[in-house]
Amino acid sequence: MRIALLEDDRDQILLLRGWLEGAGHSLHAYERGGDFLREVTRESFDVFLLDWMIPDKSGMEVLAWVRANIKERVPVLFVTARDAEEDIVSVLQAGADDYMVKPLRKAELLARINAVARRARGADTPEPFVDYGEYRIDSVRRRISRLGQDVELTQKDFDLAVFLFHNLGRLLSRGHIFEAVWGQSAEINTRTIDTHVSRLRTRLGLNPENGWRLGAVYQHGYRLERLQH
């Protein structure tokens, strides 16, 4: 998962980076609320982790802004030293999905992140076959068929298609797509992503005439949608 962290303690950032990246997640850390908010308006994430006591904006202020301005419902997990019952209640009532008190425990944090993401997106249990309308994803053969006919795709095109279908209807930033499909260590430019998306649109017939739209969103990324007829 792609996770955005608001935390001003650099030792805590290093600790969480080790835990989360060790578990296969991608962590983007911000030490100031303003930086966090600027980034989440142009990038997409799977989970937000928020500390409460931040110098320029409190975690509560950031949470209120996120719930008022981010159309996508991203799960929020508070991680803070504040442990009073009224604090926990106020955060949950303000729209947070979960609350953890420092010092954090690795296994519990990872489990809670998975839990809030699972509730938001649905279970991620891998199935050998998943159908999206006329499309079938075969994860065993790593093939996609349309109306019963296999579509010729490269392995990277397959990975990209699976990621887009899994996030159907969701606006995904190019950075998010890049990390999920190519990995953080890869060296590609955004035009490479655009080229793969364009090829998928053509080969899978993801166009309005077929009841689908794989569209670019200016200065943000892409969204795959199933259109209503």
Residues 8 and 114 in one domain: yes
Strands 26-30 and 2-6: parallel
The set of residues, in sequence order, having a beta carbon less than 8 Å from that of 144 and lying 6+ positions away, is 135, 136, 137, 138, 150, 151, 153, 158, 161, 162, 204
Residue 22 belongs to domain spanning: 2-121
Q: State the greatest distance between any 2 C-alpha atoms of the chain, in Å, as a whole number.
A: 59
Q: Are residues 149 and 87 located together in one domain of the fold?
A: no
Domain tally, the chain: 2
- For residue 153, give both structure tokens: 């795709």
What's residue 3's pLDDT? 97
Domain final position from 91, 121, 151 = 121
Instruction: Indicate if 134 and 191 belong to the same structural domain.
Output: yes
pTM: 0.79
179 and 88 in a common domain: no
Do 10 and 63 belong to one domain?
Answer: yes
Amino acid present at 152? E
Distance CA 48, CA 45 (A): 7
Task: Check whether residue 134 and residue 116 sit in a common domain.
Answer: no
CB–CB of 50/3 below 8 Å?
Answer: no
For 37-69, the pLDDT digits (tens) are 999 998 999 999 999 999 899 999 999 999 999
Tens of pLDDT, residues 76-130: 999 999 999 999 999 999 999 999 999 999 999 999 999 999 888 765 555 788 9
Yes or no: say if 206 and 213 are a contact pair by the CB < 8 Å rule.
Answer: yes
pLDDT for the residue numbered 200? 94
Is 224:181 a contact under the CB 8 Å cutoff? Answer: no
Let me know whether 60 and 102 are in one domain: yes
